Amino acid sequence: MARMNVDHRPETVIDIGKVNNFTGGLEFSNLTYTVIKKQKQDGKWLNQQVNLLNRITGYAPKGCITAVMGPSGAGKSTFLDALAGRIASGSLLGKVSLDGMTVSPSLIKRTSAYIMQEDRLFPMLTVYETLMIAADFRLGQISMVDKKTRVEKLIGQLGLSTARNTYIGDEGTRGVSGGERRRVSIGVDIIHGPSLLFLDEPTSGLDSTSAHNVIEKVHQIARAGSTVVLTIHQPSSRILLLLDHLILLARGQLMYQGSPKDVSLHLRRMGHTKIPKEENTIEYLIDIIKQYDQSEHGVEALAEFALTGVKPPPLSYNGDKSVSTVASATMTPARNKLDDSVDKKGIIRSGGNRTPLRGSENSISDFDHSLRSPYNNNNSRSWTASPSGGVSHLLKFTTSRQRPDQRMQNPISPSPGYYSYSSEILPGTPTPHSSDYTVNENDYLTPEHESENHHMAYKHLGPKFANSFFPEIWILMRRNFKNIRRTPELFLSRLVVLTFMGFMMATMFLKPPATLQGITNRLSFFIFTVCVFFFSSNDAVPAFIQERFIFIRETSHNAYRASTYTIAGLITYLPFLALQAAVYAGIVWFALKLRGQFLYFYIVLYVSLLSTNSFVVFVSSVVPNYILGYAAVIAFTALFFLFCGYFLNSNDTPSYWSWMNKISTMTYPYEGLLINQYQTTDVFGQDSYGKNVTGIDILKSLGVYDEDESKKWEKVVIMLGWAVFYRILFYIVIRFASKNKRT
């Protein structure tokens, strides 16, 4: 085949649907993820661009388990996040296709499930309850009988029948075992039958038997028709038998792709013909990768071998077995070529002249290896991504070099990452540019040039969320109330504290004298009441911190809306806050014989609790941990207390601090309680000159008097406004900031 210039002639590509019964799956092309890191050079901090992923191309076949492996720092989790759409739009270059259709992060979220390394579940729910709530979220408006049937079937498939009614548990509550908890996590995310399943280190922290059981269940899920991609570290020999496809990475570059059984062939092609019989071939390859990483050639030499078949330079060992390298006259270190492909902005660009695809499929020396490098322009085979089809329009997968019985077990496992190419030419293939590979959430579903069949293929996905707005709120409320019923300590502790403080206040401030000191004592009672109610909400700091990762896991794949989560949380708190305010108000009102309207007194206390609780919940969404959360709440409590009008009334506060009096959530309940008590001409004592002091005189001296007594309800409205404002801020934070995405 004659050499052609890609800038002027069509590329050599092939339709994947015509070859080797390829049944679909996940395909990815030129995945590149670059971050900025600061590095100190010559005493100055300079920004340096680092590729965490470097032009990774390959596929994960449908109905199989694809395992992503590599040494520490290889980029396994980053690669998984890239495939799962968990890298912020615009930060990732490359193209991802599902069953031949280009997909966006939005579509990936609707068709996939992502099981995190940590099991984030509610500890006081049973296995059955956890899966039933997941079914309510993900299965929508199907009948309850069908949901229960599906959950029962899933429990049996996951081997959780004996733990059906056992609590999930945590450090303080005995529950299911680690392996069972991991299987529950998987069940929660596969209840709706996703076509894509991502698992980040699913065997981490498990013993060998539990780890094997987990991967065995994942293997069954894959065989049912899902595309499964997982990262795994040092799998046992039994687990290796369950893995169908292997992607090996090092420093963000592709080292190997293909069947785990063909790693030995890959090693022989590299020149490692003597592999110890007792050595695991995958671990042996990872050891070699580490040795190259410590050499002057780096892992780029092996990445070049995986791309082009250019044999890496050999490694020699001195007497103390430390690695040294032998200079190769036939190969320029790959890292130089990579550097040449980076523009002034540090972004890898494709382009330049390329040679046509050619070569023998049978000759190892002539090489029919993995992907042809885009960096070699002289006598090397290159490949080019097609903007309309990704890898699926490029590669023809050769059958695995296995015995017939092995081939039946793994029908679409390719040879060790090696592809052969067809000479069929499809005219009019455009030249790709880096902009073709930008993953943008605005590119929903398919590009305009995709076929109508691609649009029709995913119409069955239905709406973005399985439930409508109000049923979603009800499901979240039921779960909230169930958790509160199982863990009543939080609200009971507040109720006990307010009850105790009510009795204490009722006895301390009983029958104040008709003097200025008596008036001062009553003012102290009101401000202390406001402070008690503010501090009683401080233990709500863990409210969202405890649930943050569960919220992220559930909303990352559209289980429910952030808005319904916010509203359900608010409604859940309302009856408990009402009970707390009622108990305290009932104790102190009658014991101290307060005047005014009891209903207003109760409403002020209730709304004060509501606004304070909303503020604390907002703080818990912003801070990363309990320590900073409590520190922030205590700091704001001190500020609100200082500017509430007790120490300096609004008339005496310096003008440049008057705004603090307006934003203090203690100002309005304090003033409301004073107006309710003293909006009268009744005498409450005498001053030092023997002059009677009326309630209106007290309000005027404090700067809160208004002739229109009905304006005291403005204080309640303002407190409600602050409660709504803080809930809106809470919603904004969890909607736009609580994302488990790399930037």
58-76: pLDDT as tens digits: 999 999 999 999 988 889 9
Residue 688 lies inside a defined structural domain of this protein: yes
Work out the average pLDDT over 695-701.
90
pLDDT band at 140 (very low <50, low <70, confident <90, very high): confident
Residue 635 lies inside a defined structural domain of this protein: yes
Count of structural domains, the chain:
2
Whole-prediction pTM value?
0.75
The residue with greater pLDDT, 414 or 743, is 743
CATH (domain of 281): 3.40.50.300
pLDDT at res. 385: 33
Task: Say whether 468 sits in a helix, a strand or coil.
Answer: coil
For the chain, what percent of residues have pLDDT higher than 70? 76
pLDDT at res. 6: 35
Give the integer Cα–Cα distance in Å for 169 and 167: 5
Work out the average pLDDT over 127-132.
96
Residue 579 lies inside a defined structural domain of this protein: yes
pLDDT band at 188 (very low <50, low <70, confident <90, very high): very high
Q: Is the pLDDT of residue 3 over 70?
A: no
Work out the average pLDDT over 496-517.
90
The domain in which residue 199 lies consists of 25-117+192-308
Give the integer Cα–Cα distance in Å for 491 and 484: 8
β-sheet bridge partners, residue 693: 685
Work out the average pLDDT over 517-522.
90
Residue 326 lies inside a defined structural domain of this protein: no
Give the integer Cα–Cα distance in Å for 161 and 362: 51
- Given 253, 273, 308, the domain boundary residue is 308
Q: Are 442 and 108 in contact (CB under 8 A)?
A: no
pLDDT band at 558 (very low <50, low <70, confident <90, very high): confident
pLDDT at res. 89: 65
Residue 105 lies inside a defined structural domain of this protein: yes
Structure tokens at 284: 């042996």
Residue 673 lies inside a defined structural domain of this protein: yes
CA-closest candidate to residue 386, choices 324, 447, 303, 332: 447
- Given 257, 274, 308, the domain boundary residue is 308
Residue 367 lies inside a defined structural domain of this protein: no
- What are the distances in angstroms from CA 154 to CA 39, 65, 191, 194, 689? 50, 19, 7, 14, 83
Work out the average pLDDT over 662-680.
92
pLDDT at res. 491: 85
- Given 248, 281, 308, the domain boundary residue is 308
Residue 141 lies inside a defined structural domain of this protein: no
Task: Look over the chain and give the mean of its residue pLDDT values, rounded to a whole number.
Answer: 77
pLDDT at res. 332: 38
| 268-287 pLDDT per residue, tens | 888 887 888 778 889 999 99
